């Protein structure tokens, strides 16, 4: 949600983001640009979350296969 706020420093757009974060944009930016910024930031954060989740799942699966392979390997005789 975008809100136009005015204060001692002048007028600016306040873009509300998830987890109570806000971004303040100077007044020349209109509501459409503020909405585009919020949408872009949300999509980028979702894409990074999915990418990091897939990467961590891959590492977890690879680690599980490596442990299973170590358990099946024959011990070295001295």
**What percent of the chain lies above the pLDDT cut of 90?**
21
Q: How many other C-beta atoms can be found within 10 angstroms of the C-beta atom of residue 13?
A: 21
Top-confidence residue, 48 or 69? 48
Domain extent listing, the chain: 2-71
Buried b (16+ CB within 10 A) or exposed e, 49-65: eeeeeeeeeeeeeeeee
pLDDT digits (tens, 9 = 90+) for 27-57: 665 667 777 888 888 899 999 999 999 999 9
- The answer to whether the beta carbons of residues 15 and 27 sit under 8 Å apart is no
């Amino acid at each position: 949600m975008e809100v136009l706020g005015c204060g001692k420093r002048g007028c600016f757009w306040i873009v509300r983001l998830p987890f109570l974060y806000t971004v303040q944009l100077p007044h020349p930016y209109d509501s459409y640009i503020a909405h585009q910024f919020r949408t872009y930031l949300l999509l980028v954060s979702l894409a990074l979350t999915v990418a990091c989740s897939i990467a961590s799942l891959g590492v977890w699966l690879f680690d599980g296969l490596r442990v299973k392979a170590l358990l099946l390997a024959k011990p070295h005789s001295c």
